Amino acid sequence: METSDVQSEITEILYGVENTISRGVQFMKNAKHHMDLYGDKNGPSIIIEFPEIYKNNYIDCRKRGGKIRLITDITKDNIRYCKELIQDEAVDEFRHLEGFVGGIAISESEFMTTTTLRNKQLLTQVFYSNAEEVVKQGQYIFNTFWNKAIPAERRFKEIEEGIEPSMTEIIQDTKVSISRANNIIKSAKEQVVIIWATSKTFIIGMNAGIDKIYSDAIRNGAIVKLLIPYGDRVETIVKDLKMLVPQVDIKIADKSLETKITILVVDRREVMTWELRDDKIENPYEAGGLATYSNNKSIALSYATIFETFWKQTELYEQSQNFNKMQNDFVNIAAHELRTPIQPILGLSGLLTHSEHLNEKEREMLNIIARNAKRLLRLTENILDITRIESKSLQLKKEQFNLSEILRNAVSDFQNQLSKEYRNDSLSLEFIEPKNDILVEADKSRINQIVTNLLSNAIKFTDQGKVSVMATGTEDKAIVSIKDTGSGIDPEILPRLFTKFATKSTTGTGLGLYISKNIIEAHSGRIWAENNKDNGGARGATFSFSLPFNME
């Protein structure tokens, strides 16, 4: 016997049944507040078969106010002993954990452990200590096992109903987790589904030879489905995989599906997840982090449902993209086809109006044709712009120009049209010249398109008075404002003014402001509008937009 006695602390190894039982009984009698016990599958039979030594002392401890927690490996062979412990109220809490060897006991001041427990046999060798550090260490070990263990009642149900026991395990070592994943994929009989965290993690897996694992699963009759967020080279690697394993079903999802977790579900029974540490590292063992494994069916089914949801969303996204492409192709073709007849209508009607052989009525009819052809041409151009905006293919041709010149020319053009086209002699246009030239770098034709659209709207909704155009420059941006004295913006339209089809006009489509907003935002600018205030009442409106001087 080895003994160390420092300040009444005892640490010793005891041999022989008499010595071990004497120390064990004294341990149980000394326990005042709690006893925490765990032992292998033979532990329950020893407790029940020797009640004077164990069970009765457990009950006495509880009567003194002590609390007893017990963990053991509950099996078909020892279930009746485990149930008896609960029925006799020998323990307060009872849990199951598989794989124990030997046993330990910890009270508030003492620790005991043995390496082996033999069925229905008393202990012949134990380690004992009342050293504070040893007791603390033993308590920590017990609490770790306690947190992993499951309630005894749940284990009883699994055994009696033939339910396969479930477990959830945290795996720190990536070599172990990847090996586990490969093994469960190979064992798949029905289905393997994977949501890759990023496109790069999928490529790392391919470089590590995971295509061979997929092939093994498919040979077993399993379906393999992969969901991969979009990224660089992913389409090329997917093509390579399809050549190697044509049976794999793959969808490339939107990049927004990227996460920090890769999810694997096999046969809706087993699930693994991996934390992504750094997908810039090509070594899979270094790129991955913490992993979890579970054979809990509820958890596996939940993850399988998540996969199916994302899979269907990706299918719907693909369908919508195909539909959008067809729609955009149709709109483009239709718009271009409309342009073809409109140009000769405008050209020929313009020539005919200058003919000396026309009377006034015929000339007026030609003007009506030209006016409506121009409207149709504007509508065609608007439709094309909407298509470009919504397909994100709107391109800007930036150049440096004087913004004041654009505004001045636009006002001049509309002044010439007021009497002829708008037939309004009660309205005047003015351009308030800035003190200095305002140089911007932008798409000149697109900015002219916006100014033209805003001026056209201002004239359309102003019967009399004035439309004023002005531009100012601040430190970081240019601001253009077009102010009118018309009817103002309808309160019902104001909240959705720059959306598609927001109009109460009988002659407009409500597309111009939506297009203008998108063009300005493509320049990193802003557009806004408000009703004017005049002596407390609304009179007319002001539309403004800004263009930053330093645009990327």
Reading the chain (552 residues) residue by residue, the pLDDT tens digits are 444 444 588 999 988 888 989 999 999 999 999 999 998 888 899 899 999 999 999 999 999 999 999 999 999 999 999 999 999 999 999 999 987 788 899 999 999 998 766 666 677 788 999 999 999 999 999 999 999 899 999 899 989 988 777 778 899 999 999 999 999 999 999 999 999 999 999 999 999 999 999 999 999 999 999 999 998 899 999 999 999 999 999 999 888 888 889 999 999 999 999 999 888 888 888 888 999 999 988 899 999 999 999 999 888 877 777 776 776 677 667 666 766 777 777 777 777 777 777 788 887 888 788 778 777 877 777 777 777 777 777 888 999 999 999 999 999 988 887 766 666 678 889 999 998 899 999 999 999 999 999 999 999 888 888 999 999 998 889 999 999 999 889 888 888 888 887 776 656 667 889 999 999 999 999 999 999 986 545 589 999 999 998 654
CATH 1.10.287.130 residue window(s) in the chain: 303-393
Q: In which residue are the tokens 């003190």 written?
A: 435
The one-letter amino acid code at 229 reads P
Domain boundaries 168-295, CATH class: alpha beta
Task: Give the per-residue pLDDT at 6.
Answer: 46
Cβ atoms within 10 Å of 423's Cβ, excluding its own: 8
Q: Residue 495 and residue 498: Cα distance in Å, rounded?
A: 8
Degrees, nearest 5: CA angle 21-26-28: 95
d(CA 409, CA 429): 12
The CA dihedral of 390, 393, 397, 403, to the nearest 10 degrees, is 10
Any idea of the CA torsion for 375, 380, 383, 387, to the nearest 10 degrees? Answer: -160
CA gap 483, 533 in Å, rounded: 12
The CATH class that applies to domain 398-548 reads alpha beta
What is the model's pLDDT at position 505? 66
**Exposed / middle / buried, residue 211 (Cβ in 10 Å: 0-12, 13-18, 19+):** middle
CA angle, residues 472, 474, 476, in degrees to nearest 5: 130
Contact 225, 249 (CB under 8 A): yes
Q: Which helix (H) or strand (E) holds 457?
A: helix 444-460
Residue 23: Cβ within 10 Å count: 17
472 forms bridges with which residues in the sheet? 479
CATH node for 3-160? 3.30.870.10
Within the chain, which residue ranges are assigned CATH 3.30.870.10? 3-160, 168-295
Helix (H) or strand (E) holding 531: strand 526-534
Rg (CA), the chain: 41
DSSP-H helix ranges across 165-296: 174-186, 199-207, 210-219, 234-244, 284-287
With CA atoms as reference, report the closest residue to 198 among 172, 171, 237, 224: 237
Closest to 195 measured CA to CA, from 169, 229, 232: 229
Q: How far apart are CA 184 and CA 205, in angstroms?
A: 16
Q: Which helix (H) or strand (E) holds 339?
A: helix 297-352
Residues ≥6 apart with Cβ < 8 Å to 53: 21, 24, 25, 122
In whole angstroms, give the CA distance from residue 88 to residue 148: 25
Which pLDDT value is given to residue 27? 94
Query: What does pTM read for this prediction?
Result: 0.50
Q: How far is residue 19 CA from its own chain's centroid?
A: 63
Span(s) in the chain for CATH 3.30.565.10: 398-548
**Three-class secondary structure of residue 176 per DSSP:** helix
CATH classification code of 303-393: 1.10.287.130
Can you give the length of the chain in residues? 552
* 277 φψ region: left (φ > 0), alpha (ψ -120 to 50), beta (else): alpha
Which amino acid does the sequence have at 411? V
Read off the amino acid at residue 462. Answer: T
Tokens of 128: 């004992």
CA angle 271/277/283 to nearest 5° reads 90
Contacts of 299 by beta carbon, 8 Å cutoff, 6+ apart: 168, 271
Alpha-carbon 264 to chain mean position = 17
Of the CA atoms within 13 Å of residue 138, those in its CB half-sphere come to 25
Q: What is the spatial distance between Cα 256 and Cα 274, in angstroms, rounded to a whole number?
A: 19
